[in-house]
Amino acid sequence: MVVGSINVDLVVAVAKLPAPGETVNGGTFARYGGGKGANQAVAAARLGTSVKMVGAVGTDDFGDDALKSLAAEGIDTTAVTRLDDVPTGVAVIVVDGRGENQIAVASGANSALTGEHVKTALSLDGTGVVLLGHEVPQDAVRAGVEGARNAGWTPILNPAPAREMIDDIEGVILTPNADEACRLADANDPVAAATQLYRQTNAPVLVTLGARGGLLVDADGMEMLSAPTVKVVDTTGAGDAVNGALAAELATGTDLHDAVRFALAAATLSTRAAGAREGMPRRDEVS
């Protein structure tokens, strides 16, 4: 179950990222499905996992397109709320020739997802994982964590963008990137940040480090895990690929350390194509 954002991504590829006040001409335009929550759901679904999306979109054309693209990936969208009075979320992304990006987001319907929406959607049987993110309101995140705990499911929070976390974070697996981890822990480096966050949650913390892999802290200690090397086209969505793949592997009962290695490999492979979702791999592609 993924509780998170659903956007439409408007992407311009240019030779170099613009500086403040600068216009860079000669770009190419493309439109993709996006939103960190929806991207993570796609990453998990492509690995063969049963996925249900909990989120909100408008009743506009962007909302129609967003739901169609998720359904085409085999994702259950029956728990996505349609809202008449707000637009579907939109992200404007600029990508340079090295695959680096700048992103601006208009949250739209994502900001209107409530805890009640989530409580209604979270009818959880058996075992599984609830994956949550910070592109929806705090109340929705809190309801998702509580629903996971009550059902005995594993809660994972990808705290992106970095902001104050819910009060009761005990037992929640955190998956920030290095910058987010340092902001959340008020630390100067990822190692110190991961250690501090582990003390807060008493649960595993995975700090993603881009091409360098990831830093995992859990009851066994600290481990630096590398990622494979590929020719990078676009890093947009790589963090979402990590989270979706990690949730998918943990849902199958895979050991945490093996699940992290698998997730880092999946994320690296996702950078081979333009767009947040286009490069997300199928299970047989991930070694």
**Amino acid, single-letter form, for residue 199:** R
Main-chain dihedrals φ then ψ at residue 28, nearest 5 degrees: -120, 150
The residue type at 281: P
Q: Other C-beta atoms within 10 Å of 19: how many?
A: 8
Tell me which H or E stretch contains 181.
helix 178-185
Sign of CA dihedral 59, 273, 48, 173: negative
The active-site residue out of 240, 255, 258, 284 is: 240
Query: Which strand ranges, in their side-by-side order, compose the sheet holding 101-106?
Result: 28-34, 7-13, 89-95, 101-106
Contact 82, 58 (CB under 8 A): yes
Residue 201: closest CA among 263, 231, 156, 239: 156
234 is catalytic: no
Which candidate, 119, 129, 178, places its Cα nearest to that of 157?
129
Residue 226 backbone dihedrals phi, psi, to 5 degrees: -85, 165
**Per residue in 238-256, is it b (16+ CB within 10 Å) or e — as a string?**
bbbbbbbbbbbbbbeebeb
Q: Token pair for residue 107?
A: 């949250």
Neighbours of 187 (CB within 10 A): 16
Taking the CB of residue 32, how many other CB atoms lie within 10 A of it?
A: 20
Output the CA–CA distances (angstroms, integers) from residue 183 to 161, 164, 189, 190, in the order listed. Answer: 10, 10, 10, 10
- Residues carrying an active site annotation: 240
